[in-house]
Amino acid sequence: MKTPQEEEYVFYRFASGDMVNALSCLKSIQRYKKYSTRHAFIFQAVLSYCRPFKSSNGKHGKYKLSKSFVPDDYMELHKELEKFRDKVFAHTDLNVRSPVLKRWKAGNIDMLPIQFKHLSPSIFNKRIAEINELVTKVMNRIDQHIDMLGSWLP
């Protein structure tokens, strides 16, 4: 991109595309009953939704979608999705999983199994409609911003 304005415009277009991808995943979830398939779609929907809210390096600067794009009445859900993305999907945060290393002996074999708290995206299964509303509202706000930015481009 030649100018910071062009780069910012492209960032918001990518952010809108991430929302479209998240909505597509949320729509696809409803066609499947199998846990692993639903898990994969929720995983991708959360990652796509959260991506623009994380720092993005460009040639002319860093970009990050402001939380002002999230309607106030959806902020708690937004925080839950971001936390799940940060602590479970994108990183291995041990404190969230509360791991305990066990020491077992079976005859001459030493075993070191790890017991940990399983965190599943299935906690969002009953909230698909609410997540869909959040993503749609954020996408609409991004698209309005894109329209405004586009009017400034030379």
CA distances from 50 to 3, 70, 102 (A): 26, 11, 35
Q: What is the pLDDT of residue 153?
A: 72
Whether residue 22 is contained in a domain is answered as yes
Residues with Cβ within 8 Å of 151's Cβ and at least 6 positions away in sequence, in order, are none
> What is the tally of structural domains in the chain?
1
Q: What is the pLDDT of residue 120?
A: 65
Whether residue 111 is contained in a domain is answered as no
Whether residue 110 is contained in a domain is answered as no
Owning domain of residue 15: 4-91+121-150
Q: What is the pLDDT of residue 125?
A: 80
